[in-house]
Amino acid sequence: MLIKKPDDIRPSEITPESVYLNRRQFMRGLLGGAALAASGTALALPKPEFDGDLPVYPGPDWLQAQLRAGERNTELSTDEAPAPYQHAIRHNNFYEFGTRKTDPSRNAQQFVTDPWSVEIGGEVGKPGTYPLEDLLKPYRLEERIVRLRCVEAWSMVIPFVGIPLADLLKRVQPNSRARYVEFTTLHDPQQMPGQRSVFSTLDWPYVEGLRIDEAMHPLSFLAVGMYGNALPPQNGAPLRLVVPWKYGFKWVKSIVKIRLVEQMPNTTWNRAAPDEYGFYANVNPAVDHPRWSQATERRLPSSLFQPNIIDTQPFNGYGEQVAHLYRDLDLTKWF
Amino acid sequence: MVLTTAVRTMPWLRVLQWWLVFLAALLPLVSIGYDAWIFNLGADPAKEIVDHLGRWALYFLWITLAITPLRRLLHWGWLQRYRRMMGLYCLFYACLHLLAFATFIVGWRWDLLLTAFTERPYIFVGASALLLLIPLGITSTRGWQRRLKKNWLRLHRLAYPAALLVLVHVIWLIRSSYFDAVIYGVLLAWMLGYRLYLKRTS
Ligand code: HEM
């Protein structure tokens, strides 16, 4: 497939949104998904198609300016059709805001995500607490359409906007003792009702981690936006991890702390149920969750007439890019 | 109180009450059907439907088991008339729950169904509970009650292990919140405990 390089004129600046959205739909129908991806570069950061009362998350001014300058990374995008916007913002696992899929979109609307700063520390040359705006300033945002595979055996295709994680890490200069990266979600029981629940098996704050070579991999991504806009609070605003070859629970949300460390981080789900959720959590159809199968997944949105069951791919279909990271690892032991 | 005396003295009120309860118990089905019809179930309507039907199967089983203690404690003799209906509604919603799972979640793929029933402990327990409930539904008629005599009561005590299996089914599918399971468990412990207490003191 011919991959065009992004050009500098973004048609969103010269074409009214409604026109190019229609054109996009038209072309999707006419030429199919592959053509959409190829022409995607010319259609930078299309916004979702709004129907009436859907909430929109434009984000703070500084972010809006950066979103306008963003462009799609077609090489790292799938050509599968993204889920309709309303489903991506209303079907979330974000236990800080409740355990049902619709809880986060109900309970997170007042969540304050600006101003926001991220503490970066541990084995780095330039530790510090950085306002998110300053962290992002040097970069041009890119959009990547990726497959999100939840450990519960459903999946969704979502266009995220953000920066490669490696770019940010390199800027804070990890030293030779930095073997893992640990991410921590905000702990704020006042704002996050799930953190007040006495019936939860999870310890707060939520902690996730990556091996340093995983973190430096080009597929590891920090998202600040979705569907051309800012991240909605229920989707992990203002900053979340996107690691598309790993189960969704690794994609830690609303990050306030990033530490480079020597020891493997003690991650939240792994602590709660070590036999069910491993540190690596690479998507793997050959290793079942003890309580359900991982061989297939249901691609959402599904309809009652079409359960949309598809075979799960090793590394969620990103094996070509990432399988080499695990050459020496027994993936049934290190699931 | 006024209502119960009125029902006793006026037979047509009794019929009306029966129909009201009968139709009210269909509302959970109507509401989920309506939401599905207007596409109001979000990205994963299949899971919404399965969960909804499973919850209502559990509620009706719990209501069925609550009738004896409530009737005694509140002296509401009329409750007894609805025990069979509640039990049958439990079976009704449990069958729909299974049917929805097989149709909407696994799309009748036999390979997936087979592994679900053999390898997924929570499904295996759910299926065992349903297997216990089916003979109870079949023998719930007056005719069977007469034919089985004393054994009828003994047979229908299977509702207790069935309820315990349902509780295990629910505990086993917990990801992180024990809230629902604790509520169900406390209620069940009270209902079964009350029966033990009756037996001890009688
Ligand atoms: C063959 C029998 C059964 C099958 C295959 C089955 C299957 C399922 C499945 C797939 C779920 C969703 C699990 C998840 O969250 O991933 C579920 C949940 C549930 N089931 Fe069943 N089940 C069966 C029997 C029963 C019975 C007999 C009852 C009650 C009388 C019941 C009550 C429930 C309840 C209360 C839930 C939890 C819903 C919620 O609150 O999320 N199930 N079942």
Looking at the partner chain, which of A99, A156, A293 has a beta carbon nearest the beta carbon of B177? A99
Q: Give the structural domain span for A49.
A: 11-326
Residue nearest to atom 39 of ligand 1 (CA): B51
Domain membership of residue A2 (yes or no) is no
pTM exceeds 0.95 for this model? no
Domain total of chain A: 1
Q: How is A21-75 classified by DSSP, letter by letter? A: HHHHHHHHHHHHHHHHHHHHTTS-SPPP---SS-------HHHHHHHHT-EE-ST
pLDDT digits (tens, 9 = 90+) for B83-103: 999 999 999 999 999 999 999
Looking at the partner chain, which of A99, A291, A300 has a beta carbon nearest the beta carbon of B44? A300
Prediction ipTM score: 0.85
User: Alpha helix (H) ranges present in B39-158?
Assistant: 45-74, 83-100, 110-119, 121-138, 142-148, 150-156
Q: How far is CA B65 from CA B57, B71, B98, B159, in A?
A: 13, 11, 22, 8
Q: Report which DSSP code applies to A214.
A: H
Confidence of residue A51 (pLDDT cuts 50, 70, 90): low
Q: How is B178-202 classified by DSSP, letter by letter? A: -HHHHHHHHHHHHHHHHHHHHHHH-
CA of B69 to the centre of ligand 1 (A): 26
pLDDT digits (tens, 9 = 90+) for B167-177: 999 999 888 88
Domain membership of residue A145 (yes or no) is yes
Domain membership of residue A22 (yes or no) is yes
Cβ atoms of A118 and A258 within 8 Å: the answer is yes
Give the span between the Cα atoms of A313 and A285, in whole angstroms: 6
Domain membership of residue A335 (yes or no) is no
Domain membership of residue A331 (yes or no) is no
Q: In Å, how far is A246's CA from the nearest CA of chain B?
A: 18
Q: Is A47 exposed, middle or buried (0-12, 13-18, 19+ CB in 10 A)?
A: middle
CA of B122 to the centre of ligand 1 (A): 8
Does residue B169 line the site of ligand 1, with CB under 6 A? yes
Domain membership of residue A332 (yes or no) is no
Predicted pLDDT of residue A47: 73
Cβ atoms of A200 and B177 within 8 Å: the answer is yes
Confidence of residue A50 (pLDDT cuts 50, 70, 90): low
Mutate to test the interface with A, among B48, B105, B111, B175 (most CBs of A within 10 A): B175
Domain membership of residue A172 (yes or no) is yes
Mark yes or no for CB contact A200/B176 under 8 Å.
yes
How many residues are there in chain A? Answer: 335
Whether the CB of A109 is below 8 Å from some CB of chain B: the reply is no
What CATH number did the domain enclosing A53 receive?
A: 3.90.420.10
Hey, what are A23's tokens? Answer: 């054109």
